[in-house]
Amino acid sequence: MAREHLVDEADYVIIGTGAGGATAARVLTEAGLEVLMLEEGPHLAAKDRPRELVDAMATSFRDFGTFTTAGTRPFPLLQGRMVGGSTAINSGIIWRMPEDVRLDWTKRFGLGELVEEKALDRIFTQIEEELSVSDTPAEIYGGNVEKMAEACKIMGLPGKPMRRNMKGCEGSAECLQGCAKERRQSMDVSYIPRSLAKGGRLHALARVDEVLIEGGRAVGVRGSLLHRDTRKVRGTFHVRARRGVIVSAGVIHTPVILRRSGLAGLVGDRFQAHPGTAVVGRFGEPVGMGFGATQGYEVPMRDKGLKLESLSLPPEMLATRLPGAGVEWQERLAEMDHYAQWCAIVRMKAHGKVRPSFGGGISVKFVPLQDDLDRAQYAAALLCKMMFAAGATEVYPGISGRPEVLNSVDEVKLIEEGKMRQGDFHFMASHLFGTACASSDPKTGAVDANLESHDVRGLYVMDASVFPTNLGVNPQHSIMAVVFHASEKLANAANSVAA
């Protein structure tokens, strides 16, 4: 049977449909430019995504959520692989870029024009209006959030409801599976349809293998067409880009595509992340984690490089967090409605590297510094204390080498004492940064302040890969704003040339 071969052409070819790629498409198409989006994953309607999280992960998470860092103590790096990218599997948490980050990028990396204050404020406001961003309302807190809010009040912590991109959220606690009623305004239900309505085009199940470069300029891409069910190669494609190629494949795959296309230097360096660790508490009364915002409450602690968050889990995932065996585990399992779970994301200082590996694989090397681990240890102990403050009868810290079950706040000292190693934590990271760093100086960045490659004309990177540092807060809003601004300038330049 002959393989399919697709040939196409557009002004701009965009690789990836997450926060970066979809935003670039929204801006460029509305400026009258012809845009073609390429997405490795499938185009799934929210109503067609499985309600069981395990099944949902098989269809919309990269490698079923099992892709990890390299080394003897790996941890998962969660990424979406479908139209909408990771915005289609996250909780819709919205944070504007912190001012200290904006000033740092301006001073150290010469990005003042890209992150100019008035422009970003305008764009943040516009995105918030377009995506219905608002505080999580109290009526959909659910017990998990209510317990965290109670703990913050008792302990004097700066807790607050999360701001989320939602429209009429009903508190189904199914953000990770994809909101069946499309209340969360992820890219697959917002900017991508908006771009398509303005003439943008989309090829799903199209994996880009290489950017085509001729005479020092990006002129297109080539790649493989994938079978919807098996993800095996069913054909090839070749797409020409009249004006430029925009790589928005995410912090892991963007540098891999660039390196396989012949770029080197700093591409793939400076990998950074916000690994997280979680704590579960058991309560005497029902908590009802199955109702409420998947994530609806947070405790920002920027001075400590931390952010605490509520995080609801479906029963099949929560069951794996319960300690014990045999009858003891079954007794805990019988009270599935009595648990709360909260997590901490750590703004780690460590840097790593992403590289293509033998046989088409990818290697991500990242080792937290001891300072990073110390802050994770502090966060885990604080979460345990918060659980007891809210009335927990048992707390499960989920840390190797320490008690599986804490029965009183006095026992939290067992978590606080001594140094911890990376392998003691059950880390997981979904906030990734920095593998195609933006800088006005080619010696310190892979792309310039317009997000164009220092080495190849017409080649742009528009995702969190360009972030010189991690943020300490959820990155989606900052990705969208930075890309929105760069895309506006790109569209203005293209249209001025055409005129």
- For 51-93, the pLDDT digits (tens) are 777 777 778 888 877 889 998 889 999 898 999 999 998 999 9
Nearest to 25 by CA among 10, 35, 16: 35
pLDDT (0 to 100) of residue 165: 97
Spans of the chain below 70 pLDDT:
1-2, 498-499
- Decide: 80 and 41 in contact? Cβ < 8 Å: yes
Reading the block at residue 377, the tokens are 């240890």
Is CATH 3.90.550.10 what the domain over 4-90+95-130+186-271+433-498 is classified as, yes or no?
no
| Amino acid, single-letter form, for residue 80 | G
Considering only CA atoms, which of 34, 41, 463 is closest in space to residue 247? Answer: 463
Supply the angle between the helices 370-389 and 142-155 in degrees, to the nearest 10. Answer: 100
Protein fold of 138-175+276-347+369-424:
Cholesterol Oxidase; domain 2 (3.30.410)
> Residue 456: which of 257, 283, 320, 276 has the closest Cα?
257
Quote the pLDDT of residue 214: 97
For the record, the structure tokens of 23 come out as 């935003």
At 498 the pLDDT is 64
Q: What share of the chain is helix, strand, coil (3-state, %, to 5)?
A: 35, 25, 40
Q: Are 211 and 436 in contact (CB under 8 A)?
A: no
Domain ranges of the chain: 4-90+95-130+186-271+433-498, 138-175+276-347+369-424
- Residue type present at position 92: G
Q: Which amino acid is at 318?
A: L
Q: Count the Cβ atoms, other than its own, within 10 Å of residue 441.
A: 11
d(CA 168, CA 181): 10
* Reported pTM: 0.96
Q: Give pLDDT tens digits for 1-49.
A: 568 899 999 999 999 999 999 999 999 999 999 999 999 999 988 777 7
pLDDT at 474: 97
Please, what is the end-to-end C-alpha distance for the chain in angstroms?
Answer: 47
Report the C-alpha gap between 218 and 261 in whole angstroms: 10
